[in-house]
Amino acid sequence: MSDPEELKRAQACALRYLSYRDRSEFEISARLSQKEFSKNIIRETIVWLTGLGYLNDERFALAWSRSRVSAKKFGEYRLRRELSAKGLAAETIEQALRVVYSESSEWDLAQACAQKKLAHLKGIDPKSKSRRLAQFLQRKGFASETVFKTVKKLISNETDHELSPG
């Protein structure tokens, strides 16, 4: 039997932590461990939060994914790594990625990111521009194929615009 006072403290701590933003079970568990609550108290707190609907890994994964895609324009690889670091199950991650990238095409996101970055690369030779753009898109988490196609398309378009009269 766990100490009711310690359980109350753990629940209050978890609620405070959840008040800033939605969290995964792993994040709550890690936070409570950091605060030196026992494993039993942590388990009971997670069950309590889940029962109240305050803790739901599927909802968290979807919300986090949508937020990162809309605000940061992250590619699938980067987002998968972030979700994995949040301690989410592989199935939960895959489900969230399927939903998010059915709403926003990864190709469109890569193009939007690249267009924005290209504006900051004016006056740089095409080879360096291509390399920098590719590295940028890779850091954003886009697949190599998407990076290659995006860079090829945008750099060739830009070169065509520079060469065309007028």
Q: What is the pLDDT of residue 162?
A: 52
pLDDT for 40-59, tens place per residue? 999 999 999 999 999 999 99
Q: Yes or no: say if 113 and 73 are a contact pair by the CB < 8 Å rule.
A: yes
Domain 4-55 has CATH 3.40.50.670: no
Beta strand residue intervals within the chain, DSSP E: none
Structural domain spans, the chain: 4-55, 58-103, 106-163
Q: How many CB atoms lie within 10 A of CB 32?
A: 23
Beta strands in 35-115 (DSSP E): none
Residues 6+ apart with CB under 8 A from 158: 118, 126, 129
**Predicted confidence band of residue 161 (pLDDT cuts 50, 70, 90):** low
3-29 tens-digit pLDDT? 999 999 999 999 999 999 999 999 999
Helix axes 25-34, 4-20, angle to 10 degrees: 120
Q: Show the tokens assigned to 126.
A: 């095409």
